[in-house]
Structure 1
Amino acid sequence: MPIRTATATENDKRIAQTGNRLVLEQARSVGLLGAAKNTRLSGRVPSDLIEAAKKRFHVTSDTELLELALSRLALDDDFGARLVGRKGSIPADVDLGV
């Protein structure tokens, strides 16, 4: 019997679901999730945008998509901006071993 290997799509789905779970766990651990759902959010956005986001992050419900998206925004660490902001902060005479 041949060994079944996961396809790229299955791997992408597993990776996305693991990332999603980690983001939601982190949001829960800092108190952003877990409380009663007491706020309703509504707005008009293109349906293609919603479907593309659901497909990319492998979620099926609008609520799950909103929780994930808002958690990602709330937990964003601004690493890129901080890294660029450090440009030129290392003195030229420091040996970086390169």
Structure 2
Amino acid sequence: MSDPGSRQLAIALQARRAGLLGGEKSERLSGRVTRELLSAAKAKSGIVSQTALLEYALSKVALEDDFGPKLLALKGSVPDDVEL
């Protein structure tokens, strides 16, 4: 899944399965970002709509796993005398 459309679809499907999308849109967000950030995010994702871009970005954050921190937390948990 290297093209942006496939990644977006995968994120949307995961978010929907997790109950993050598909319900009533009751919350409103407002904020300011640099033109460069918005342009780069739109170019990288291929998403034109600011609402769709925000929904995609929030879905990615909400679905992000914590594999890295969990792996690092295991450091030192294997005894030195274990034969590998």
TM-score, normalised to structure 1, is 0.76
The code of the aligned residue for 1:58 comes to G
- Aligned to 1:43, what secondary structure does the other structure show? coil
DSSP-derived class of the 1:31 partner: coil
- Pairs within 5 Å for 1:12-91: 15-91=3-79
**TM-align CA RMSD:** 1.6
- Give ranges in structure 1 of 5+ residues lacking alignment: 1-10
Identity %: 48
Query: How much does 1:21 deviate?
Result: 0.9
Aligned residue pairs, count: 84
Deviation at 1:94, TM superposition (A): 2.2
Unaligned ranges ≥5, structure 2: none
| Matches of 1:19 and 1:26, distance apart in 2 | 11
* Large movers: runs of 4+ above 6 Å: none
